[in-house]
Amino acid sequence: MTTRLFLSALCFTAMLLAQSASAEELRPFHVQYRLYVSKIPTTIKADLWLRETENSDEYEMEMNVKSFLVKNTEKSRFTWKDCHPRTSEYQHSFRGFGKRRNHDMTFSWSPPQVISKEAKETHTLKIEEDTLDDLTILLKARCVFATGDKEFNATSAYGDRLREQHMQVIGREELDTPLGKLDTLLVEKKRGKDSERRTLFWIAPKLNYMLVRAKHIENRALFGELIMRDYDGPLVNKTINPLIDDESAAQQTAEESTTRKTSEETDAKGSTEGS
């Protein structure tokens, strides 16, 4: 397994966080994933948390990976208002496969900028008002997908760079999960036209667009997958994504029409027999 493959898989997890029963609210959760490489399970597990902090208007998100091969910790502190997370602090520490990364980032908003420290180097990066960190980027996306939009674009800051993220809904699929069968939206991370790599992920509207499965294809022989193994968080009783609701409504209408037709035929038959 290559370092790039593993980091990409972690990125999928960070890029598909979406929780709450309404667009105005965040609710704590804990999710655990296992990493597979070319369908072979590894001992690597990723834990993901969303917690409330001591401040009523602030949240903390954390992703933690520990194994004899790798250690990865990401933490973000942010506020949430009108479906928009605003980061105050972000830290990332990675050890594994001969690679090391340490980023300690402070976001300030008057003016908008990020001060990033790595080892003995310090960088100041100017950002836009809607810039996110790599761990909270799709808290915003949950709001976008919930309206039925099929595309999501966002910018995140990492170290001394800005990253442009482009994602698009390309289909729908039912998956087996620890919670039973779940309808999911199939989303693809868009890349350059000449890129042979593909990034796919499956998100469940019933879990408020939480990541259920992710797949990164490096080539025909090498691909990595993150698969949900445990989930502790809120559920949604009714799907709110029009991409699914419209189809369900159409199916329900067809079923009701068939039932109504059958009922009318039965009534007509009964009337004829009675006469």
What does the alpha-carbon distance between residue 162 and residue 158 come to, in Å, rounded to a whole number? Answer: 6
pTM score: 0.73
What does the alpha-carbon distance between residue 49 and residue 58 come to, in Å, rounded to a whole number? Answer: 14
**Token duo for residue 241:** 């994504």
Q: Could you check whether the bond before residue 111 is cis, i.e. omega within 30 degrees of 0?
A: yes
pLDDT in tens, 78-105: 998 877 889 999 999 988 878 888 999 9
Q: Would you say 22 and 28 are in contact if contact means Cβ atoms under 8 Å apart?
A: no
β-pair partners for 112: 109
| Per-residue pLDDT at 273 exceeds 90 | no
pLDDT in tens, 37-75: 888 888 888 898 999 998 878 999 998 988 887 888 999
With CA atoms as reference, report the closest residue to 226 among 177, 261, 162: 177
Tell me the CB-side half-sphere exposure of residue 213, using CA atoms within 13 A. 20
